[in-house]
Amino acid sequence: MTKQPHTFRNAHQRRSAFTLFEMLLVLALLLVLVSVVWPAVMRISSSNRLRQSMQDVNSVFAAARIRAIEHGVNYHVYLELGGNQYLIVPVDQSLLGLNTDESGSTTAGTSDAFIVDELPEEFQFSKTVSATVTESIIPFEWLSGLPNAKDLRWVESSFPITFYPDGTAALDLQHDILKKEQKVARIEVRGLTGNTTISYEQEKSP
């Protein structure tokens, strides 16, 4: 009777620590679990970034329409074809807060009439344009006085999506957002109403 507790105590002491094999087994199981779960986590994270970015783009298009109505001048939206930047700007140099001095050089004043932003690096605007554009782009000199104007040279090879003071747009447009050359979302602009909608490619899959 007196030896049983002592024997149990010795057995308990012998099992108080994990063996190296047990630790390696647990680590191996954790690695397998992470390898299975991680791709799904990354897909969800990428999807969330895409949706947040497209909400921002949608807001920019809406802002261009609203500002065109409020200011009574045309507003342009530019997308960097094959890149991830976008810009809205009024077709009125005075609204940019730019001042031209006697020497002819242009300096930027304070203005919130323009918006410059970009998608996350993993997403790009398609290089393919689905509409016929007749409007001319604004002179780059208008942008030369803006902050980081050197990074806006891509505008010269883009096209204007024009919003008019009556709330309409100059064209019907469907423009794709790509990730690794695969379409993941689409911007759709209705010329008659000036409304912009965003659709996602995964939602169309059966």
The pLDDT tens digits of the residues spanning 58-111 come to 999 999 999 999 999 999 999 999 999 999 999 988 887 655 555 555 444 445
pLDDT of residue 32: 78
pLDDT at 61: 96
| pLDDT, position 205 | 40
In this prediction, residue 206 carries a pLDDT of 40
More confident position, 14 or 75? 75
Which of 14-23, 53-62, 97-106, 146-155 is the least confident region?
97-106
Residue 28 pLDDT > 60: yes
The label of the residue with tokens 């002491």 reads 13
The pLDDT score that the predictor gives to residue 202 is 64
Tell me the average pLDDT of the chain: 82
Query: What pLDDT shows up at residue 18?
Result: 72
Q: How confident is the model at residue 17 (pLDDT cuts 50, 70, 90)?
A: low
Q: What is the pLDDT of residue 95?
A: 80
Cα 97–Cα 58–Cα 55 angle in degrees, nearest 5: 115
Cα(113)–Cα(73) distance, rounded to whole angstroms?
A: 11
pLDDT at 126: 96
- Across residues 189-195, what is the average pLDDT? 95
CB 122 within 8 A of CB 179: yes
The fraction of the chain above a pLDDT of 90, given in percent, is: 50
